[in-house]
Structure 1
């Protein structure tokens, strides 16, 4: 009886442990602080992300913005900037439909440049949250069902 319970607990830990790990970001990027992002940038604007296109190699992301207002420089009505794909490389995680205040140098931007999310499409955020919780509930139901089956059907030893 105790060996089945031990196996069930180990199975439960193996299934549930990645859930908490998957939700927490790993930060390896280190940024300087105490600077004025507008002064440091070549181009600054407020715009809405129209497209986020990851490079097929997987190191850079091209982000296309529809410019609403210009704070510095002359970006035009549309601008495409490069950022690193992951936050560990100081990439900024732009989301399609999000409205941002963006600071850029040399056609690129990063999480260290002072970019700021001003508004996000609420439906997209709600959908991602709902998917996470429904998926978590399904995993818990599957684990509970498996544990119940293991407890009710112990292995017969000879």
Structure 2
């Protein structure tokens, strides 16, 4: 009987182990930012399930503030649907501070470069579009390793950038268009002014010579 009880206990332990397979190391806000390739706040606009190991899900975010990475207005992030595999369940319509990394986790879905997990430090935050302020986190089903949103986290995030809108490009210094618009370039103007001064000097010299000859006569 004791042997049977021990065997049953070992089976139960073996069956329950996967539910607690995800274990995360302590993560400070500064380390969370350092380890991530993209850090942003954004709202989940779409969720789709993919077939494959770990039943990955792909989340589409509409970003409003970019703390690290390219200032894109839209991000797609993959995460496992299984919490035992450290998958993070983002809710459609929810706004989050997202820490995402480029690497093997994101490659489980073709065309998705970024991934995020329970160990990344994601924080559910209040709806909005402005930079995070202390106290902006909202209650969630699981705690964040990098949260809560306090002065330390805000300082570690730094000053955010606004995402680039669709069709918008970074400002680039444009060359002067005066020559194309008016047909007269600055070089021609400068050259003409120099020629005029030379002609004026020549006329002045000729006039002085004539006066000198007139006085001698």
Return the TM-score normalized by structure 1.
0.56
Q: Distance in 2 between matches of 1:75 and 1:96?
A: 22
Match of 1:32 in 2: 25
Q: Distance in 2 between matches of 1:27 and 1:47?
A: 29
Residues 1:113 and 2:120 are matched in the alignment: yes
| Structure 2, gaps ≥5 residues long | 1-18, 103-113, 128-217
Task: Tell me which stretches of 4 or more aligned residues in structure 1 moved more than 4 Å.
Answer: none
**Count, aligned residues:** 95
Aligned Cα RMSD in Å?
1.6
Alignment of 1:5-154 (within 5 A): 26-35=19-28, 36-57=31-52, 59-106=55-102, 107-119=114-126
The structure whose Rg is larger is 2
Higher relative contact order (CA 8 A, sep 6+): 1
Alpha-carbon deviations, 1:113-149, whole Å to 9, x = none?
A: 00011137xxxxxxxxxxxxxxxxxxxxxxxxxxxxx
Higher strand share: 1
Alpha-carbon deviations, 1:84-104, whole Å to 9, x = none?
A: 111110000100000000001
Q: Describe the SS at the equivalent of 1:105.
A: strand
Q: Distance in 1 between matches of 2:77 and 2:71?
A: 10
Instruction: Tell me how far 1:59 sits from its aligned partner.
Output: 1.5
